[in-house]
Chain A
Amino acid sequence: MAERNGMVEKRGSGLWLTHLGLIIGVAFIFFPIWLAFVASTVDQQDIVRPPMPLLPGDKFFENYGRALVSGVNAPVATMLWNSLVMALGIALGKIAISLLSAFAIVYFRFPGRKVFFWLIFLTLMLPVEVRIVPTFEVIANFGMLNSYSGLILPLIASATATFLFRQFFMTVPDELAEAARVDGAKPMRFFFDILLPMSRTNIAALFVILFIYGWNQYLWPLLITTDPEMNTIVMGIKQMFPSGDDFAHWPTIMATSILAMVPPVIVVIGMQKLFIRGLVESEK
């Protein structure tokens, strides 16, 4: 006990130091975001004239209103909607497909099962950027340019998620599948009634990761959307930047940036509760 008390005392001084370190770290990360927020609430003149203001101005509603309704190329509201559809489509699509393929690989014995698994696994090494030209060709030939399906489908297959679900399914005791079989559950019934509810914490965690992955897609939407109505928010921000002699309205751009951050933050905070609760409850 004495030793343990000693350790606690020793931690006392260290506690402040670590907290100080952490606070500095947080401030370091947070400061640019704060600056962006400040810049989104002031006049163009305030930004252009040094020094930059450090406290929010009074143009919050004006700037955000303008960004949402008109934007620079396309209204931010439209771009947000496009991004939302794409991110949700990618996240949900990836989860659905990888759940099913993992189910097939773990629970069914079919010829070439191992081969297919390794083929899926192999695609981990081929990110979108590597296959972007042929993928573009395929999507263009299908006439899916400037469409949601064109934005979503090429990004939907996921080796990572398949692998993750495979590993999880392999930890589910075989006896559970056998019990379900004795109870009369056909394979898909077992999948929906037993496996899916048991995977919900994994699904939640993956959803967060994949939503942000989809939300942050930049190169692919840039390639296949030419119509401003189909722009996504992340590429939209880049397109707002002035090129050549254009004049940029920075408060609007900053407001757009802040708006672009909101949905991922909501998803992370909202889902965090679900998957932390899931991690605490161990059930198997």
Chain B
Amino acid sequence: MATLKLDNVKKSFGKTDVIHGVSVDVEDGEFIVIVGPSGCGKSTLLRMVAGLETVTSGEVRINGKRVNDVEPMDRDIAMVFQNYALYPHMSVFDNMAYGLKIAKVPKPEIAERVQTAAKLLQLEPYLQRKPRELSGGQRQRVAMGRAIVRKPAVFLFDEPLSNLDAKLRVQMRLEIKALQRELGVTSLYVTHDQVEAMTLADRMIVMNAGVADQIGAPLDVYANPETEFVAGFIGSPPTNFIDAALVGGQSGRIGVRPEHIALSDTGLLTATVGYSEALGAETLVHLRTGDGAQITVRQDAALPIPGEGETRGLSWTDENVMRFDASGLRQH
């Protein structure tokens, strides 16, 4: 088991700075999810921990040991890749055993470790098959099995679920979480899907353009976003942003989550109803304010659905308002 420490880690490709200094302390057994839109540097950050990218400046420490210049295999990590990266010509067993064979682990022990992992992942019937004879979910499991058998100090996941269909993704998400709990291995998980981040993470790192905008427990991040970007990125549908001047504020914008706005006859602001999406348990009403801003209101399905083109008032309570200054920072 292990701790992982990133200390002001930076990365540049030539003159382009990709990561502008990320620091985080990961505790033993913690599940950290790095989430952000594509191009925010989250995969690069993970690959620096893996040793697949060099660290331009700063330090990566695994169990207190500086690993900046250590080869991936000697870092005591295991990685699950987005497209699984299984060796196509090897059986499932050989795929999982390959790393151990290179490490010259005795054969009986390899067999035993692979068997244990296969049992854990329900892969026992498929050990002699080739990857191409497996379904997407099974391949995903093999990729995880390959990571598990090595008994690494840190698991690294690079968008492992993005090649699966929606239903399987939810199922595998639960399995990954359960597995990580059971094994208690420190994990770093990269995703662009904020639902995955919310459900899996003990703590999450929200990345924006090479900067860690916020690090914290999912619900804390959701309730108290530090920046406008985090408020907009975490949560679906996203937070509504309204020009502060429209509601009697000064500069900057205010953010209100869709579930915190209610439709009323008179309100703090009026808006024209666009279309509504009835999802069964709830209804999403999309409106447009006078200055053209899009507002989404999430309301209970029992409430009446307003007709298109109607003008309605929007109301919310002050405690649910998040104020951001012009640079996007939260004002408390």
A96 surroundings in chain B (CB, below 8 A): none
CB pair B88 A179 closer than 8 Å: no
CB pair B82 A283 closer than 8 Å: no
CB pair B77 A182 closer than 8 Å: yes
CB pair A176 B130 closer than 8 Å: no
Residue of chain B at shortest CB distance from A174: B85
Cα A178 to Cα B99 in complex, Å, equals: 12
What 0/1 pattern do residues 174 to 205 of A give for CB contact below 8 A with B?
01101111111100010001100110100000
What 0/1 pattern do residues 81 to 112 of B give for CB contact below 8 A with A?
11101111100000000110011000000000
CB pair A198 B89 closer than 8 Å: yes
CB distance from A197 to the nearest CB of B (A): 4
Q: Does A10 contact B (CB under 8 A)?
A: no
Cα A198 to Cα B131 in complex, Å, equals: 13
Q: Given known contacts A175-B83, A184-B99, A193-B98, is B77 in contact with A283 (CB within 8 Å)?
A: no
Cα A182 to Cα B78 in complex, Å, equals: 7
* A236-284 interface (Cβ within 8 A of B): 281-284
**B73 touches which one: A181, A193, A197, A281 (CB < 8 A)?**
A181
B215 surroundings in chain A (CB, below 8 A): none
Cα A200 to Cα B89 in complex, Å, equals: 10
A173 surroundings in chain B (CB, below 8 A): 83, 85
Q: Does B132 contact A (CB under 8 A)?
A: yes
**B81 touches which one: A175, A184, A200 (CB < 8 A)?**
A175
B72 surroundings in chain A (CB, below 8 A): 178, 181-182, 184
User: Which of B71, B81, B146 has the most C-beta atoms of chain A within 10 angstroms of its own C-beta?
Assistant: B81
Q: What is the size, in residues, of chain A's interface with B at 8 Å between Cβ atoms?
A: 21
Cα A283 to Cα B98 in complex, Å, equals: 19
CB distance from B114 to the nearest CB of A (A): 14
**A183 touches which one: B89, B98, B132 (CB < 8 A)?**
B98
Q: Chain A: interface secondary structure?
A: helix
CB distance from B125 to the nearest CB of A (A): 21
Cα A180 to Cα B89 in complex, Å, equals: 13
CB distance from A235 to the nearest CB of B (A): 41
* B54-79 interface (Cβ within 8 A of A): 71-73, 77-79
B153 surroundings in chain A (CB, below 8 A): none
CB distance from A103 to the nearest CB of B (A): 17
User: Which of B72, B77, B82, B87 has the most C-beta atoms of chain A within 10 angstroms of its own C-beta?
Assistant: B87
User: Which of A179, A180, A198 has the most C-beta atoms of chain B within 10 angstroms of its own C-beta?
Assistant: A179
> What are 22 sample pairs from A and B whose C-beta atoms fall under 8 A apart?
A175-B85, A176-B85, A178-B72, A178-B79, A179-B85, A179-B86, A180-B87, A181-B52, A181-B73, A182-B52, A182-B79, A182-B99, A183-B73, A183-B98, A184-B72, A189-B102, A193-B87, A193-B98, A198-B89, A200-B89, A282-B132, A283-B89
List the interface of chain A (C-beta within 8 A of B): 173, 175-176, 178-185, 189, 193-194, 197-198, 200, 281-284
List the interface of chain B (C-beta within 8 A of A): 50-52, 71-73, 77-79, 81-83, 85-89, 98-99, 102-103, 130-132, 146
For the A-B complex with A182-B99, A200-B89, A283-B130 known, give 12 more contacts whose Cβ atoms are closer than 8 Å. Answer: A176-B87, A178-B72, A179-B85, A179-B86, A181-B71, A182-B79, A183-B99, A184-B72, A185-B73, A189-B102, A194-B87, A198-B89
By Cβ-Cβ distance, the 5 closest A-B pairs, closest first, are A184-B73, A183-B99, A179-B85, A175-B85, A283-B88
